[in-house]
Structure 1
């Protein structure tokens, strides 16, 4: 299985506490093209360097080049983190408002979120939503994923969907929609995939005292509720059979990426057989020490022997085990020592 990134989110399946399900956003982050993100990262890093050029120049003059580089390179990450924290705060405020609950905030939090909350109030007044749920955990038992849906709602007014200057659909008042709040600068196409993932779920947790699980009601479509200090926009989202089929492919491709792709490209080879330095599973310090001792090919390694390998600093029993596996690729082997066993002999003993 592929390793998990720090930005991934997983949910525990309600029907099997030992089963972890990837979130909708984790799937999208894994399978989606990065688009303009690298350009944005470069632009923000450059902007930071220009705006703080005196500070950066001072650090370089003091021999602190690594620190200067870290500050410049980390600028996009800091911007993203700040926006993420504000987004999380707004979601908490929206959830509390819909549930008619008081949410204690610090003075700084209240000041930061106030313009967004005022816009949310305007959205509620003008679009007249009736909320059916808020911040619910959604599950798909067939495709094995989950996510947190911001809300399910029925608007009191119609919601036209315009694509490329053409009216393609209108959601009438009272139709159940899956809603997602966005408080960033823009709404991106990936949001359509996100809402399709939520809408395709089979079950949901009501977040009541007992976390009751019920079947997910069928939604007519989605709505992205874009909240900014200067106003709101409600973006209708069509959840078509093609979008649902595409989402299912995305879920399966996510699994292929984690379980199959990493094992699909073989080790690079050269004429004349494998070399010890082809195998990064051996500590580079050990590989360098072997090279200094004239051990290059696997034939050299076989002749070198496990005793001499263990005498090298940073090598240990695990290194010997790894070396045995590597030697076996070419049908080579080291005799077992009196205290050594293989998996095969261990299995025989257990039998």
Structure 2
């Protein structure tokens, strides 16, 4: 985006304030990422197991020729699936933005996996008739020090709402935190020229959930109570990045015959 640059650091995305180029704040999705995700452990294990069973002929041969390669192939199974879903979502989002801006998409030039999403988004536009006020812009919170990129702010049935496009299998409850962060940010930094404008007063939020088999328009509660949880996660983000450093000091007394990690490695 022309208005706000981003950078990746330590697995998190940071936004750079275009006003001075010095202030860097974490992205909304990185903050929401502080939520515990225990289910991902089981999902990753399942993907590895399925990869082993489905491709056993390949895996068994690889085990004989390159055991380390076989381990890498299986342990990264979940990452390959996640990347494929992410790539599809990115392609669909790009097309959704073009459609929302009034562009007609020629399906002959669209990948087969994304064609249904384009058709359903067009049906959503015709059925719901949203009036788009902002598309693919960045919000910035001076008060709570975060930023993020939303899909759309639009008028729907006379109410101004923040919208998010989702192509994932389900609409997860964490999206409420994401939308609340957009809703209660201080300003929008426009991509075209970096100009800041106030975030309009929003009545709420919603997700357009687009899957190959159809679409649904889902209201999402993203009011003050939800935003309080997001702000707590913002504090957790600071703790994980910087706050926990040095909180455990050096022993002031010890006894016995404890072996240090360095001694164990030397042995």
TM over 0.5: yes
**Larger RCO: Structure 1 or Structure 2 (Cα < 8 Å, ≥ 6 residues apart)?**
2
Shift of 1:104: 9.4
Shift of 1:187: 0.9
| 1:288-327 paired onto structure 2 within 5 Å | 288=266
2:183 is the alignment partner of 1:199: yes
Could you list the runs of 4 or more consecutive aligned residues of structure 1 that deviate by over 6 angstroms after TM superposition? 102-106
The count of residues paired between Structure 1 and Structure 2 equals: 259
Counterpart contact for 2:99–2:122, Cα < 8 Å: no
Shift of 1:229: 1.4
Shift of 1:96: 1.3
1:96 aligned residue: 98
1:244 aligned residue: 227
Q: Alignment partner of 1:18: what SS?
A: coil
Unaligned regions of 5+ residues in structure 1, if any?
A: 156-172, 292-351
Residue of 219, 233, 246 corresponding to 1:263: 246
Task: Determine the C-alpha separation between the residues in 1 that align with 2:9 and 2:258.
Answer: 31
Task: Determine the C-alpha separation between the residues in 2 that align with 1:137 and 1:182.
Answer: 18
Calculate the TM-score normalised by the size of structure 1: 0.68
| 1:114-263 paired onto structure 2 within 5 Å | 114-155=115-156, 173-208=157-192, 210-263=193-246
Q: Give the direction of change, closer, same or farther, for the CA distance of 1:65–1:105 in structure 2 (3 Å limit).
A: farther
Deviation string, structure 1 residues 50-108 (Cα, Å, up to 9, x no partner): 0000111111223x11111111111100010111111111111111112234789995x
Tell me how large the CA RMSD over aligned residues is: 2.5
Task: Determine the C-alpha separation between the residues in 2 that align with 1:59 and 1:11.
Answer: 43
Q: Give the direction of change, closer, same or farther, for the CA distance of 1:118–1:33 in structure 2 (3 Å limit).
A: same
- Flag the structure with larger Rg: 1
Unaligned regions of 5+ residues in structure 2, if any?
A: 1-7
Q: Give the direction of change, closer, same or farther, for the CA distance of 1:106–1:274 in structure 2 (3 Å limit).
A: farther
2:29 aligned residue: 25
Deviation string, structure 1 residues 165-203 (Cα, Å, up to 9, x no partner): xxxxxxxx2111110000011111111111111111111
Moved more, 236-245 or 221-230: 236-245
Q: Give the direction of change, closer, same or farther, for the CA distance of 1:235–1:102 in structure 2 (3 Å limit).
A: closer
Q: Give the direction of change, closer, same or farther, for the CA distance of 1:22–1:105 in structure 2 (3 Å limit).
A: farther
Shift of 1:267: 5.3
Shift of 1:260: 1.5
Task: Determine the C-alpha separation between the residues in 2 that align with 1:90 and 1:270.
Answer: 59
Moved more, 77-86 or 247-256: 247-256
2:10 aligned residue: 5
Shift of 1:206: 2.5
Q: Give the direction of change, closer, same or farther, for the CA distance of 1:18–1:126 in structure 2 (3 Å limit).
A: same
Q: Alignment partner of 2:255: what SS?
A: coil
